[in-house]
């Protein structure tokens, strides 16, 4: 500021030329001219164009993800690494350290946490640990609870995993059998929890009374079973950490799970790819260390064990039997008949009371903890963060009509308005009504809030006017759903004409 005043003094008071001013002040001639004769707003002096940071434009994604994570189970929230990988896919060019620092800063504003100290143990090749964890997935427009069964090898740090629909004994052992087949052998020593599917009673610190199903399984596969002391899960700390590791890297944010078999195939490919990284202390690839584990495995038996439980049930007056609080219809069997049920992990075989004739085979249904998704609340997060909406967890699970309605907006401002419209409709109407309204709105090119609300009201009134079908529980589903093939009657006419 003082130098500018001096330039003005030289020009206005002493009458110095621009060249003289530049020489005396030792500045560029254009600078001297600018401040001597030019009209300069000193409030703008010193302001430079702000350099854009690597994080700029991506903050709203992270903030939206952290807000979403607050609504998710703690164990399935995104890590900073996961956020960094997702940002790379949408054009982020900064470092992972910048993302970690920003995430840490935001998390510190929201909460604080502490880590528990653990003890490092040494393990021999061929020894394994097993544990069962829980995670949430999006299925049939609901959040449902599934179970991850992990077999881990502390020596090599390798793990394999399979997702189960339930945690009962048949599912647990069938899952473990599948993991043995995946690795091509059986660990010589396996450490377990005192799960009720395995342990019938804890007799002492060393002795366990095992369930009959598990004793049969252990005898068939010939491994040695070790058990943790009650409440001492850290005695199998390796697999405990693997539960968290797999959940963070494969189930966070909650995945969409429509086909369990296909999901498990994809998950196994991810487990195999994970073996290509270095061991955290040994500096050798996990796959190379796994070779030492593999050499110690017991060979698989020639035939897999047939894993099932047996129940005796009485057919009720509706022609049904109950297994695990689920009703199963038994066609062409009189009410009051006693039947034998072989319950496998994925299906039921219903036999006569002597177990000689199979009367019916049906897919096994499990009751899964489920909660409806508050779609309006989940989308409301993105009203002020419309750019991040395309990366929203639950937007992936929305019906295609609503996704198209939101993401096809030509500008961010329009996208914001469409999100507001969908939130408004979902606050008043069911998801089905919102889907129909969105489909019609896109088809008609009427995407504003009022038009969408009008369409939703129209579909809602139409649905209310249609009578719902009466429930009739007595007719077997096989009969109710049967549709005759009338084309066979055409063959009768052809045959008669030929004769």
- Over residues 4-16, the pLDDT tens digits come to 767 777 766 677 7
pLDDT at 367: 76
- 259 falls within a domain: yes
The confidence band for 393, taking pLDDT boundaries of 50, 70 and 90, is confident
Q: Return the closest-CA partner of residue 275 out of 107, 167, 447, 153.
A: 153
226 forms beta bridges with 191
pLDDT at 118: 44
- 7 falls within a domain: yes
245, 268, 295 - which closes a domain: 295
223 and 146 assigned to the same domain:
yes
Q: Return the closest-CA partner of residue 193 out of 149, 224, 238, 228.
A: 228
pLDDT at 42: 46
Q: Return the closest-CA partner of residue 335 out of 359, 352, 311, 318.
A: 318
- 133 falls within a domain: yes
Q: What percent of the chain has pLDDT over 70?
A: 84
CA angle, corner 408, sides to 407 and 409, nearest 5?
Answer: 90
103 and 133 assigned to the same domain:
no
Q: What are the tens digits of pLDDT across the range 409-452? A: 889 999 999 899 899 899 988 888 999 998 888 888 888 888 88
- 382 falls within a domain: yes
Q: What are the tens digits of pLDDT across the range 145-201? A: 899 999 999 999 999 999 998 888 999 999 999 999 999 999 999 999 888 888 888
Alpha carbon distances (Å) from 217 to 54, 182, 193, 207, 294? 56, 17, 16, 18, 21
The confidence band for 117, taking pLDDT boundaries of 50, 70 and 90, is very low
pLDDT at 155: 93
Q: Return the closest-CA partner of residue 429 out of 389, 406, 398, 461.
A: 461
Q: Which residue has the higher pLDDT, 54 or 190?
A: 190
CATH code, domain carrying 154? 3.30.420.10
72 and 35 assigned to the same domain:
no
The confidence band for 461, taking pLDDT boundaries of 50, 70 and 90, is confident
255 and 237 assigned to the same domain:
yes
Range with the lowest mean pLDDT among 118-127, 347-356, 486-495?
Answer: 486-495
171 and 273 assigned to the same domain:
yes
Contact 309, 298 (CB under 8 A): no
The confidence band for 113, taking pLDDT boundaries of 50, 70 and 90, is very low
Q: What is the rounded radius of gyration, in angstroms, for the C-alpha atoms of the chain?
A: 34
Which range of residues forms the domain containing residue 256? Answer: 127-295
- pLDDT mean over 397-416: 88
Tally of domains in the chain: 5
pLDDT at 292: 93
**pLDDT above 90 for 387:** no
286 and 137 assigned to the same domain:
yes
291 and 332 assigned to the same domain:
no
- pLDDT mean over 201-228: 88
Q: What are the tens digits of pLDDT across the range 269-327? A: 999 999 999 988 888 999 999 999 999 999 999 999 999 999 899 999 888 999 888 88
The confidence band for 107, taking pLDDT boundaries of 50, 70 and 90, is confident
- 470 falls within a domain: no
226 and 352 assigned to the same domain:
no
pLDDT at 174: 94
224 and 351 assigned to the same domain:
no
- Report the distance separating Cα 26 and Cα 32, nearest Å: 9
89 and 168 assigned to the same domain:
no
- 100 falls within a domain: yes
The confidence band for 114, taking pLDDT boundaries of 50, 70 and 90, is very low
234 and 152 assigned to the same domain:
yes
- 117 falls within a domain: no
**pLDDT above 80 for 473:** no
The token duo for 74 is 């703690």
Global pTM value: 0.66
The helix-helix angle for 237-250 and 260-274 (nearest 10°) equals: 110
- Report the distance separating Cα 435 and Cα 452, nearest Å: 10
Largest CA distance in the chain: 129
- 22 falls within a domain: yes
The token duo for 236 is 């199998």
The confidence band for 1, taking pLDDT boundaries of 50, 70 and 90, is very low
196 and 246 assigned to the same domain:
yes
């Amino acid at each position: 500021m003082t130098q500018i005043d001096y330039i003005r003094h030289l020009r206005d008071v002493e009458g110095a030329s621009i060249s003289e001013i530049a020489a005396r002040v030792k500045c560029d001639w254009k600078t001297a001219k600018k401040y001597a004769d030019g009209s300069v707003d000193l409030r703008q002096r010193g302001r430079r164009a702000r350099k854009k940071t690597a994080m700029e434009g991506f903050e709203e994604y992270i903030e939206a993800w952290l807000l979403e994570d607050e609504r998710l189970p703690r164990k399935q929230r995104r890590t900073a690494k996961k956020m960094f990988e997702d940002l790379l896919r949408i054009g982020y060019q900064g470092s992972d350290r910048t993302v970690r620092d920003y995430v840490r800063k935001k998390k510190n504003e929201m909460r604080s946490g502490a880590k528990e100290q653990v003890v490092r143990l040494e393990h021999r090749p061929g020894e394994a640990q097993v544990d069962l964890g829980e995670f949430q997935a999006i299925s049939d427009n609901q959040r449902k609870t599934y179970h991850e069964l992990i077999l881990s090898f502390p020596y090599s740090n390798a793990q394999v995993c399979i997702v189960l629909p339930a945690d009962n004994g048949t599912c647990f052992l069938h899952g473990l059998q599948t993991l043995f087949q995946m690795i091509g052998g059986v660990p010589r020593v396996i450490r377990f929890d005192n799960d009720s599917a395995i342990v019938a009673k804890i007799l002492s610190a060393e002795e366990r009374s095992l369930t009959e199903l598990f004793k049969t399984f252990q005898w068939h596969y010939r491994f040695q079973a070790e058990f943790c002391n009650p409440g001492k899960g850290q005695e199998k700390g390796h697999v405990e950490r693997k539960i968290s590791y797999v959940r963070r890297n494969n189930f966070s944010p909650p995945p969409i799970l429509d086909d369990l078999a296909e999901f498990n195939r994809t998950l196994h490919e991810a487990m195999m790819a994970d073996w290509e990284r270095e061991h955290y202390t040994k500096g050798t690839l996990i796959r190379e260390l796994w070779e030492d584990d593999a050499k110690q495995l017991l060979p698989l038996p020639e035939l897999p064990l047939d894993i099932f439980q047996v129940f005796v049930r009485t057919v009720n007056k509706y022609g049904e039997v109950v297994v695990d609080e689920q009703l199963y219809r038994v066609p062409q069997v009189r009410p009051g008949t006693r039947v034998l049920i072989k319950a496998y992990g994925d299906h039921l075989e219903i036999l006569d009371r002597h177990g000689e004739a199979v009367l019916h085979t049906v897919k096994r249904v499990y009751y899964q903890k489920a909660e409806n998704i508050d779609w309006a609340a989940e989308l409301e997060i993105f009203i002020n963060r419309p750019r991040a909406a395309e990366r929203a967890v639950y937007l992936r699970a929305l019906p295609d009509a609503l996704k198209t309605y939101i993401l096809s907006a030509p500008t961010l401002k329009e996208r914001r308005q469409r999100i507001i419209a969908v939130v408004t409709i979902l606050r008043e109407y069911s998801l089905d009504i919102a889907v129909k309204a969105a489909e019609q709105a896109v088809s008609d090119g009427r995407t504003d809030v009022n038009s969408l609300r009008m369409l939703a009201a129209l579909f809602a009134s139409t649905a209310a006017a249609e009578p719902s079908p009466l429930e009739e529980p007595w007719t077997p589903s096989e009969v109710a759903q049967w549709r005759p093939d009338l084309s066979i009657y055409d063959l009768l006419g052809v045959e008669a004409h030929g004769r």
